[in-house]
A and B are shown apart, each in its own frame.
Chain A
Amino acid sequence: MTVRIRFFARFRELLGTDIVVDAPKNKGLSDLVKDVAGKNQEGYDAIFDEKGAFREYVILMQNGKRVETSDAPAIRVAEGDEIAVFPPVAGG
């Protein structure tokens, strides 16, 4: 099944813009993002901590709805899902 992952801001610089993934059925949301982010160590480290958990400031959305990153390992992605991953920017 096809799932689209969209990174924003700093994550986009490290990992690319829109990434279309051919994911197996019942793939976990957390694992999906890890697979894609794993292609660039710096990008992976920006999103995940050393234990493989989402960093606390990461914003994760599934089809426009906010997902708590702590729930992400248990959430399954579905055909046509759009996942957005972004960090809040802080400058002013």
Chain B
Amino acid sequence: MSTVKIPCVSSRAGTLVFPIIPVKQMLSRRERERYKRQMMLFGDEGQERLKKANIFIAGAGGLGSPVSIYLAVAGVGTLTVVDKDVVEQTNLNRQILHCDRDIGRKKVVSAEEKLHAINPDITVKVIDTTIDESNCAQLVGRADGIVDAMDNYPTRYLLNDIALEKKIPLFHGAIRGFYGQATTIIPGKTACLRCIFPSAPPKEVFPVIGVTPGFIGMIQVNEVLRYLLGTGELLANRLLIWDGMTAHAEEIAVVRNPACISCGTGHISKDTTAVKAKKITTGKKK
């Protein structure tokens, strides 16, 4: 912490004085240079907001890769990346955090290495575990937001419930083939994930081309950054649907379900939810 002199006019004397106001000097010279072109958009204050933020990224796969890379280069100060899987060859058409030499390594090890190389000025925390009902709240901790980069709805519902409980936003994204969807959930203000999708689609080994999680991941990152910066209009109560086959994006208005079992009158106690969720695993990202 250092101090700077900020000139101001004293209301009593009407003279120019220099009170000593403590201002935290958060950005190093190197950071100022690194972020110079984006600070043209939102200045010191915006960049410091990003630096102070802690974003929880659930998954280091197809969505988690572009999401974490772009949050890292933007200078989001702390990224917590959680994944249990090992890099497989079939991941490499889309999971751009990992490359051929990473096959057989833990995804979080590979992720930490790449993200640190991409931006050594941020803190990357990685956790090699499966997100489940017993650890989800603790893993999320005091994060400022959760990015849903999962590949299954049971874990998404769990993240949704934790986001509601902690009153932090959930940035949802999901993909299949050339299609994707994204929305931003602000607890208490917007429809939650269960309001929009009360039932999970059947599990499958889904087809996917790398550009689709790339596209949806960028929507999610764009949401996170603007949420942290407090600027623009979020995808709140709006479900964006991307059709990569026709290069067409459209949105559907969504509303809260008053009887929702996660955020509405249908909400059930934690104990009951726990029984319902049972042991939820992230599953394999094939």
Residues of A whose CB lies within 8 Å of any CB of B are 8-10, 12-13, 17, 56-57, 59, 61, 64-66, 84, 86-92
Contacts and interface: CB of A to CB of B under 8 A. Distances in A.
A90 B203 contact: yes
B168 interface: no
Given A91-B151, A91-B206, A57 B176 contact: no
Given A61-B252, A92-B148, A9 B203 contact: no
Given A8-B243, A9-B176, A9-B179, A91 B62 contact: yes
28 contacts: A8-B241, A9-B176, A9-B177, A10-B176, A17-B246, A57-B197, A57-B200, A59-B197, A64-B253, A66-B254, A66-B255, A88-B197, A89-B181, A89-B206, A90-B151, A90-B152, A90-B176, A90-B203, A90-B206, A91-B62, A91-B176, A91-B208, A92-B61, A92-B149, A92-B152, A92-B173, A92-B213, A92-B285
9 smallest A-B Cβ distances: which pairs?
A89-B176, A92-B151, A91-B206, A9-B179, A56-B199, A57-B199, A57-B201, A88-B197, A92-B63
A37 to B, nearest CB: 17
Interface string B169-182: 00001111101110
Contacts, number: 81
Which range contains the number of B residues in contact with the other chain? Answer: 35 or more
A17 B152 CA distance: 26
A52 B142 CA distance: 46
A92 B197 contact: no
A55 to B, nearest CB: 8
B153 interface: yes
Nearest to A61: B252
B175 A92 contact: yes
Contacts of B63: 92
Nearest to B180: A89
A48 to B, nearest CB: 14
B236 interface: no
Contacts of B245: 12
B175 A89 contact: yes
